[in-house]
Chain A
């Protein structure tokens, strides 16, 4: 056992000197990251740099890491695919894993799940089977499933990567609304530079197993992709990601 590290006060995520090895491949090599409560952080990186590995560690899906990692108890993950249970209707999918203690709890959880569903605009689909939903609808249900547990940390693993551009734009708006209302700390893993700048308070770039860039985004919301500072940030990040920009 490593001796417990005291996380700085007022922190939602604290990770220090995190390492993760697959076979002889060091994916994470001494990574440090901290996220404040209510802060929206986007994590960029080329494919295969370990973005999802980090997210899986924070989400509790990968116990075989080195270093110190501290996360809140109430956390929720939205994956790239909705990962809804196909044999449950939408509402029980949203309520998945919520604990029922006490006689009135069942009705309360139902109410809570329904209100999460209506927040993503799908209250009318409560009794639908997941197979009947479109890609965007299914992902909104996945968002509701994350929201319903009032997470202190939301981990989003390229949640909009599989959606078409129009749906993605609507999901960006929805996510911003939800974050403004519930204030979870958010770690959004993405490979879309614009998405990162559009949504995040801070953009990180993961490269060679460590965070190489940590840029605050000080633009007013809603953000304009044509804004000079937006463009400058984009250029800077693209260069860091190894994309040549004219």
Chain B
């Protein structure tokens, strides 16, 4: 019995019978260049490795600032940002503005995602729905949402509704596009199988088409979670008396770069949190993809 590159009995047999047309000696090597995990090397845990990159960026950022590459008005250092956070927190400015932004985004997100899913189901399942709505949605999608802000102010004034409306609009399209494509992409073979085993149309939708479209919907949701903050910040910078976007705008008039950076950092953190939520959702909802047995 031979092992790759090695002979189990300690060495090659003294003489192979040389076949006619001898191809000459063959050098044997191990199939992998080197063992992947060498003994004695400390393995760094994954969370630490994941955090290392951002921490490195923070350190570099701080170094650049303390070395005086930029003035404090051009770039605020991480330490200055933390100080600004403390200051605004103690004045209750940070909490209240963050909360109002979160509320707007949550409302817009719920409405926008619901509308996106409803439209996707309508167009994905019914040809009539597609013919009627899809061209309109595609055209509307091409209009830059932020270009609508002046109109929305004329229509709805400067209250909460126009902001939520714009955020919702920003969420509808990514959810619609991805969910609709996913519904149309559901394996027709599974739909046929469902039909032959007596699933009615509602049964097909509930047990075959919607579960099959779920991965696409989650992709759309990820886009929506990014888009909603984009719309939120712009809407608040233009016509608001509160919110993170408003805070950035105010900071500009007083040259408080540290506050601007603080707000941007908050957006970044919220983005990471939102992504983590969707990842968790995916882990539970798409368990079947990898046959994950837990939960």
B-contacting residues of A (Cβ < 8 Å)? 59-61, 75-77, 79, 81, 83, 85-88, 96-99, 128-132, 145, 149
Contacts and interface: CB of A to CB of B under 8 A. Distances in A.
Given A87-B211, A87-B214, A88-B207, A77 B196 contact: yes
Interface stretch (B52-60, B87-95, B175-183, B282-290): B282-290
Interface of B is mostly: helix
Contacts of A85: 190, 193-194, 207-208, 211
Interface in B172-229: 189-190, 192-199, 203, 207-208, 211-212, 214
Nearest to A130: B288
Contact of A129 (B190, B194, B208, B288): B288
14 contacts: A60-B195, A75-B196, A77-B193, A81-B189, A85-B190, A85-B207, A85-B211, A87-B211, A96-B193, A97-B197, A97-B198, A129-B291, A130-B288, A131-B290
Contacts of A83: 189-190, 192-193
Contacts of B203: 97
B288 A79 contact: no
Contacts of A79: 189, 193
Contacts of A87: 211-212, 214, 288
A161 to B, nearest CB: 15
Nearest to A129: B291
Sorted nearest first, the 5 A-B pairs with minimum C-beta distance are A97-B197, A97-B198, A132-B291, A83-B193, A129-B291
Interface of B: 189-190, 192-199, 203, 207-208, 211-212, 214, 287-291
A131 B189 contact: no
A83 B208 CA distance: 11
Contacts of B212: 87
Contacts of B198: 97-99, 149
Given A83-B190, A85-B207, A149 B197 contact: yes
Contact of B196 (A61, A88, A130): A61
Secondary structure of the A contact surface, majority rule: loop
A59 B189 CA distance: 14
Nearest to B197: A97
A97 B199 contact: yes
B288 A131 contact: yes
A128 B291 contact: yes
Contacts of B289: 86, 131
Nearest to A128: B291
Residue picked from B193, B198, B214, B288, most chain A C-beta under 10 Å: B193
Nearest to A80: B189
Given A60-B195, A129-B287, 18 more contacts: A60-B196, A61-B195, A76-B197, A77-B193, A81-B189, A83-B189, A83-B190, A85-B207, A86-B288, A87-B212, A87-B288, A88-B207, A96-B193, A96-B194, A96-B197, A97-B203, A99-B198, A131-B290
A97 B289 CA distance: 22
Contacts of A77: 193, 196-197
Contacts of B192: 61, 83
Contacts of B208: 85
A208 B139 CA distance: 50
A87 B90 CA distance: 49
B84 to A, nearest CB: 47
B291 A97 contact: no
Contacts of B194: 85, 96-97
A79 B188 CA distance: 13
A97 B211 CA distance: 16
Nearest to A56: B192
Contacts of A86: 288-289
A88 B288 CA distance: 7
A81 B290 CA distance: 19
Contacts of A128: 291
